[in-house]
Each structure stands twice: as C-alpha cells, then as structure tokens.
Structure 1
Amino acid sequence: MITYTLDHPERGHIEYRDRKRYLWLSSLFMPLFPLLGVLLYFGTGSQWALAVPLVFSYLIIPCLDYLLGSDENNPPEEIVPQLEADRYYRVLTWITVPMHFIVLIAIAWFVGTQPLTAWSVLALAITAGSYSGLGINTAHELGHKKPAFERWLARVVLAVPAYGHFCVEHNRGHHKDVATPEDPASSRMGENIYQFALREIPGAFRRGWEVERERLARQGRSVWSLHNEVLQSYALSAVLQGALIFAFGWIMLPFLLIHNVWAWFQLTSANYIEHYGLLRLKDSNGRYERCQPHHSWNANYIFSNIVLFHLERHSDHHANPTRRYQSLRNFDDIPELPNGYYGMYLLAYVPWLWFRVMDPRVLALPHIHGNLNRVNIDPAHRDRILARYGAGGVTA
C-alpha cells in the first residue's frame, strides 16, 4: 500500500495510507453488476435471475452498510495535494465511463435477442436504468474538475442515461442555490419524493438550459450551437439510443423509455435525501449565507461510499466542490443519515415512513434545534408541519 509522507515545519513527519485505496476498485466494477443477472440467466435458465442486481442494490447494500459500519477517517490536510495528484484515483473514474456504454449495449442486445416476458423486460429496463444512473454519479465526479478532458468525459457518460444537462445545471445552478427554496434540486420538509420528482426533473432541465443559454450569449453565440454543452451530450444520446433502436427493433422503445426515466429517478432520489429540509439563512442584505457542511446530509458508510466514489460525503463536497473523491472529509456535528444512499432510497419511496424517521432528525440538528425558521419547509405542507411541531420543535 502506498504511503504518502511529508516533513512539516510545525507538525513534523506526517504519514498517511489510504486504507480504501484498492477498495475504490469497487466503484469501477459496480456499473458492470447488471451483467451478473444476464450470466445467471444463461447459467440457470430462470428469468428470476435477472432481478439479482436489483436485489443487491436495494437490499444487500443497505445490509452491508449496516454490518460494515462507517469510516470517519480523514486524510491530513497537508497530505491532500499528494493524494489528489495521484493519477490512480482519477484513472478509475476515466475507465468507468466506457463501462456504462458497454453495459447498456449488452443489456439492450439481450432484450432484443432473447425470448423474454414483459415482466423480465421491465426488470431489465429498471436494472439498466438504476446502474446507468451511476453514470450520472461518474459525471458528477468528473464534471467538477478543472481539466477539460475530465469535463468532456462527463458530457460523454451523461449520454448513457440521456441526461445531458446535468453538469451544466448542477455546477452552475444547484451549487449556487443549494439548500434554498429557489433550488429545484433541494427537497423541502414535508415534500415527498414523488412530489419532489415532479418539481426537480423539469426544473433542473429548465435551469440547465437557461444557464447554458446565458453562457453562450455572453460569448455572442446562439443557444443552437455546436458549442452548447447540453446539446453535445444529447446528440451523443440520440446516436447511441437511435442505434440501439435500429439494431434491435421496436422493443427498444419501451425499454429505453423506462431505462432513461429510472436513471433520472436515481439522481432525483439522491438529490431528495442529500438536502432534505436544510436551509441556508439570509444575511441582513438579503443574501444567502455561504454553503457550509451542515447544509448537506452526510454519510460515512463504508460499502456504499466505495461504490459511489465517496458521493455520500456530500457535506464536504458542497463546501469544497473541486475536491476529488479520495480527499473528501467527515466533519463533527453535521447532518448524518441513518443508512447509506440505497437504504435511504427505500425509506424515501415510502413517504410516511420517511417523514417519521427524518422530520425529527431535521429538527434535532444542532444548528436548527427545533426552530422551524431554520428549516426549508414545503409551502404546501407548512400548516400541517406547524400544527404538528409548532414553534417549539419536535413533538412526541
């Protein structure tokens, strides 16, 4: 295992080993997992085997997070420049990009050439969409980086889930407005995930298109231009998915529609749990305070973090967006999720259970301490929330 060392003038000799260095390879192989269901199908002849990747994501991973626990270890700040300069970590994200294409093409071939029931096609479309949603996570990591090559790779991988506006919208919209009522990608207390999806998906598209139009206008270019980064990614989506329809016929139409929508819903699921109820306050001039670690829900669960490029250390990511995944830190006294993302997705899909678990957690946060004025509340549910929790905070 590689040891990073530094002789610091004040702290003396510093050594650091990334104990997860080779575990990060899991992030590389996670996008390939849907192919396991196909292999099991050929080995057993049972179409039930096609559901194994979904069972792994939504049932096994939450259990592994619970059993393996959390890792709150942080790299020393003095070592971070060495850690971020290590090409090993960034190469893993680069290699992941073509894997998303390989998996979608392979599953599309399987759907287009095998005698499957409608339920099996549905399961495969959701499976492929779930893991193509990981492509948005890969783009999330790459799209925040300064090298043009990595930002280009982000646009390329977004072609798989056909979500080409993501990096533009996320970097120049969500990070600007996060944890405010103005942000369509920040969920509000009392808003269930299905209501949030109807607000977030179209709202994010509109904002992404608008901020790109404004960028091109400043350069004196039309929005309908080859320089439009949103259109660049969507053009690649059209080529990819159009080729699949041409190659495998009409069955690709429902398959790709379900695949795309479910991939988008995976991003929506992440956005829903990452900032639920959290609010940046305004200063005396009416400007929102700078985004701090306590404006995002954090999670340190080992397994889901290593398969998601540390996405769950979201508090540090929003406070320091250009940090690479291997350098993201844990902080004391920040909002902590009770399970990793996949477990929280399941909880969010049952709204009454989500509210029962998460609403008291929001109000119990140290920087909120029961003060509903410090909570991002959904206007449609404000009266209900005030009636239940009142001005004093959590009720029994």
Structure 2
Amino acid sequence: MAKWAPHLIGLLTPLSAVVSLLVGGWWMLTPIVLLLGLYPFLDSFVGSSTIHDVEEEGKGHDLIVHAHGFLVPVVVLCLLYRVMIGVDSIPLLVPIISAGLATGASGVVAAHELGHRRPRSFSWWLGRLDLLSVMYLHFTVEHNHTHHKHWARKVDPTSSPWGRSVYGHLIRTVPRQLRNAYRIRPKDTTISLSIEATLLIGLAIWGLPYFAAFVGQALIAIYLLEFVNFIQHHGLERGEDERPNAGHAWESRTRWSRYTLMNLPLHAAHHLRSSTPYQRLRPYDESPQLPGGYYQMFWIALIPPLFNRMMQKSVDHSGGVGGA
C-alpha cells in the first residue's frame, strides 16, 4: 500500500459534512458523531506508531492536502444551502456544529500546510480561501512571522504557559494574534479584515440565518485551531536566548490523529524545519508525549483540572520537560 493512502482517511471529515448537509435530517449529526465520538475512541484503538522513517515523496500526499483545501469552501456552501432550503425540525445548531468541525479539523489543517507554500502560488491562495471560510485571514501572517520565530517563548501569544486553561488561552490569544498580524503587516491585515467585513455584511444583507450559520461554523473552527495551539507548546517555555529544540513542542504519535490531520501531531518536526511538507515530518524522541491523541485531548482540555493532572503525569513520565 502506498504510504500516502492512510491519509485519505482524513477526507472522511469534510466529505461526511458535505454529504450529510446535502441529505439533511438527523444525518447532519454524522460529523459530530465521528469527530467527537468515534475518533477519540479510534485514537486509542488504532494505537501509536514509533516508526521514525519519514514517508516517501509522491503526488498522492500533495493531492490529499489540496483535496482538503477545495472541500472547505464546499462545506461552507453546503451549510448555506441547507439554511436556504430549511432544516425541518432539526435545530440549526446541528448543521452549524457539523460544518464547523469539518472546516476546523480539515480546513485549518490544510490552510496551515498550504500557508507554508510559496507565497502567491496557487496552493498559497487556496490556503487563503480556506482561512477566509473561517474568518481567520490574519493567521498566515501571525503564524509564519511570529509563532515560528518565538514558539515556546512568553512573547508568543499562541504558546500557553503551564496551568492556563484552554478558556483563558482563547481570551488572550485571539486578540494578541490579530494585533501582532497588524503590527507585522498592517496593510495586508487591513485588507484581510476589510474582505472579511465585506463578506459578513453581504451575508447579513442576504439574511440573518445565513450570517449566523457562517459565523457559527467559523467560531467553532477558530476554537479548534486555538485548542491545537494551546496543547502544542503548553508549559514548554524556553528563554529568549535559548535555541529551540524538539523538547519545546508536545508530540502525539497516535496513528488516527496523524492520518486524519496530516501529521499535525508531529509538531516538533514542523517547527525545526517549517518548509518540510507534512509527509516528511518524523517523530523526535526528545519531544514530550501528549497523554492522548488530538481527538482525545479535545475532551480532556475542556476539563482544566483533568487536563492539568494528565499533563503533569506526562511531564513526570518524561522526567521534566521544557519550562514545566
């Protein structure tokens, strides 16, 4: 089997959203059941991989990330279509959550990968379209120019200190990232905000249900993005003059999270060389290991005392890491 084949599983996320939104009814619960119910279980059931070999190069990997990129705006359009034809007796919140989980778990991951491609290339623009779909166009500027320079430092708004909850992280990180993006690229950020504002005004004129549905799915996607930022460097603080190393990023080797999220859990490898495509990322023995896969960590992070206790156990098991 080709080494890119397991990553096809990740396309189930946006495809399930597209199909369920078109079919309607209680089928629209499908992405919710998959991502929040089945996938956390599969994180454990499928197990982890300790293989250090990187995957082979090939067009398959590239086609997969672009497929994710194309499907994101399709998910949003299907959501708006569902609002237009009606949701019958199903609460509007159901298709909003389903779409948001898909645009977050699929779209933001694809936008992150494509955002590291050559600026102004087709792939880069596709990533920008994905970010527009979730109202987060400033992400590329802040991520590439601040986070990758200062990751695991106090000055980095996306790196959370030890003991902070995901809720406290959200309140702090979103405005700070926007401010950083404006400071670095004021013209580009202003244009991005203007485009987003124009889109929102257009949706509001079209009808408040469309506006609410679009904003709702975007907020869910943004939460998923910032949840990932929250866990990736939590408590792993480095000094201003300290060189970054694999010990400054949490890692998860669970196969299900790796296959469905395009190796996003191998985060240290991404930081040590940000231009490396996802199929070339590899595990590092120096990286502390998260208590579970990303889908499991979603639920754990929602309960701060449980999150802190499990992260502390991981730190103790590692013999102390980073600044924790």
TM-score, with length taken from structure 2? 0.90
- Superposed, 1:19-98 pairs within 5 Å as 20-38=3-21, 41=24, 47-75=25-53, 83-84=56-57, 86-98=58-70
- Alignment of structure 1 residues 228-377 onto 2, 5 Å: 228=188, 230-231=189-190, 233-234=192-193, 237=196, 244-245=203-204, 249-280=207-238, 282=239, 287-368=240-321, 375=323
Amino acid at match of 2:252: A
Distance of 1:49 and 1:205 partners within structure 2: 36
Which whole-Å deviations, capped at 9, do the CAs of 1:296-320 have from their partners, x for residues lacking one?
1101111221111110111111112
Aligned position for 1:14: none
Distance in 2 (CA, whole Å) between partners of 1:299 and 1:160 is 28
Residues 208-254 of structure 1: CA deviation (Å, up to 9, x unaligned): 121113xxxxxxxxx2xxxx2x455555545655555555x221122
Specify the code of the residue in structure 2 equivalent to 1:71.
S
Question: Secondary structure, in 3 states, of the residue corresponding to 1:75?
Answer: coil
* C-alpha distance 233-24 of structure 1, shift in aligned 2 (>3 A): farther
Shift of 1:50: 2.3
Counterparts of 1:336 and 1:160, CA distance in 2 = 32
1:136 corresponds, among 105, 108, 113, to: 108
Q: Does the 8 Å CA contact 2:246/2:286 hold for their aligned counterparts?
A: no
Deviations 1:124-178 (A, max 9, x none): 2122112111312111111112364122222222111010001110111111111
Q: Does 1:165 align with 2:138?
A: yes
Partner Cα distance (1:240, 1:73) in 2: 45
If asked which structure has higher relative contact order (CA below 8 Å, sep 6+), I would say 2
Partner SS, residue 208 of structure 2: coil
Question: Partner letter of residue 98 of structure 1?
Answer: F
Any unmatched runs of 5+ in structure 2? none
Q: 1:202 to 1:72 in 2, by over 3 A?
A: same
CA distance in 2, matches of 1:366, 1:305: 25
SS of the residue 1:69 aligns to: coil
Unaligned 5+ segments in structure 1 are 2-18, 42-46, 214-222, 369-373, 377-396
* Alpha-carbon distance, 1:68 to partner: 0.7
Amino acid at match of 1:27: G
Distance in 2 between the 1:241 and 1:307 partners?
A: 30
For 1:362 and 1:277, locate their aligned partners in 2 and report how far apart those are by CA, in whole Å. Answer: 10
Larger Cα-atom Rg: 1
* 2:270 partner SS: helix
Matches of 1:307 and 1:176, distance apart in 2: 27
* Residue 174 (structure 1) aligns with: 147
Give the alignment's TM-score, normalised by structure 1. Answer: 0.75
Pair 1:115–1:60, CA change in 2 (3 A): closer
Q: Distance in 2 between matches of 1:160 and 1:231?
A: 17
Could you report, residue by residue, the CA deviation over 1:353-386 in whole angstroms, capped at 9, with x for unpaired residues? 1112112323543353xxxxx526xxxxxxxxxx
Contact kept? 1:97, 1:138, Cα under 8 Å: yes
What displacement does 1:348 show? 0.2
The CA RMSD over aligned residues, in Å, is 2.3
> How many pairs are equivalent?
322
Aligned to 1:210: 183
- Whether 1:194 aligns to 2:172 is no
Structure with more of its chain in helix, by fraction: 2
